[in-house]
Each structure stands twice: as C-alpha cells, then as structure tokens.
C-alpha cells in the first residue's frame, strides 16, 4: 500500500501514504515487542513443582468465600488466561493473593467490587 501511495505523487499531503507509514510503524513495534517476549519465554512444567503443598504456577486451586461459594482456578501464564475455563493469569490480583498459600490459608483479594476473603480448600498439580 505504501509503494502504491508513494507512486501517486506528493507524499506530504498523501493521506494513504501517511496512514500506511503509521500502520507500518505500529506493526514494527508490535513485532519488536513479540520478539522480546519470545526471547524471555520459559517453559515451566507444573508437574515438576518441588512443593506441591503450596500454590505456585500451574496449580489448580479450590477456594471458597464467606458464603461458601467455591471457585476452581488454575494459575497460568498471562497470555493463556480464560476466565470462563477458570484459567487466571499469574499476574492477576487473584493469583498474586493466592501465591504461596497452603490449604486452610485465608487470603484477601482486592476486586473491583471491593475486598473479599477466600479460604484455600484444595491444591492440585498435574500428575508427575
């Protein structure tokens, strides 16, 4: 598109050329960001967790609130989240509050509707 727009004449007032250059810069920035993420990515096997009694990456946690409403959540990478399936990102408020907790621990979670306390009922990891 840029080469076509450049062939249309004056580039200083050519909207297609200017928009095409802006879009190309956006794509280049996104590619750079993704390249950095790929270099920093690590494969973590939750089945090889050394301490299976505490909540860490890959754990499936059953929690209950004050009204005994239970939630089952799995801590996954921030790019793998899917709230409908109970997959929450490692950096989410829920995950930050649950990290390192054991069965029976009560954790306070800051939610948009206000703070709420949850008790850890069960912790499970994939089989080794």
Closest CA to 56 of 64, 44, 65: 44
Residue whose structure tokens are 């301490």:
51
Q: Give the max Cα distance, the chain.
A: 71
- Residues 89, 83: Cα–Cα separation, whole Å: 9
State the Cα angle at 57 between 96 and 67, rounded to 5°.
Answer: 50
Q: pLDDT, tens digit, for every residue of 66-79? A: 999 999 999 998 88
Average pLDDT on 99-106 reads 94
Residue 68 — φ and ψ, nearest 5°? 65, 25
Query: What pTM was computed for the model?
Result: 0.70
- Residues 61, 120: Cα–Cα separation, whole Å: 7
Residue whose structure tokens are 């954790």:
107
Q: Does residue 51 surpass a pLDDT of 90?
A: no
Arithmetic mean of pLDDT over the chain:
87
């Amino acid at each position: 598109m840029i080469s076509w727009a450049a062939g249309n004449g004056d580039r200083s007032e050519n909207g297609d050329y200017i928009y095409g250059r802006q879009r190309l810069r956006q794509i280049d920035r996104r590619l750079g960001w993704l390249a950095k993420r790929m270099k920093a990515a690590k494969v973590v096997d939750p089945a090889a967790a050394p301490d299976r009694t505490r909540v860490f990456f890959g754990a499936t946690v059953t929690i209950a609130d004050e009204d005994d409403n239970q939630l089952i959540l799995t801590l996954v990478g921030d790019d793998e989240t899917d709230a409908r399936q109970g997959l929450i990102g490692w950096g989410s408020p829920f995950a930050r509050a649950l990290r390192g907790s054991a069965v029976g621990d009560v954790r306070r979670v800051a939610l948009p509707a206000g703070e709420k306390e949850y008790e850890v009922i069960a912790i499970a990891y994939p089989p080794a």
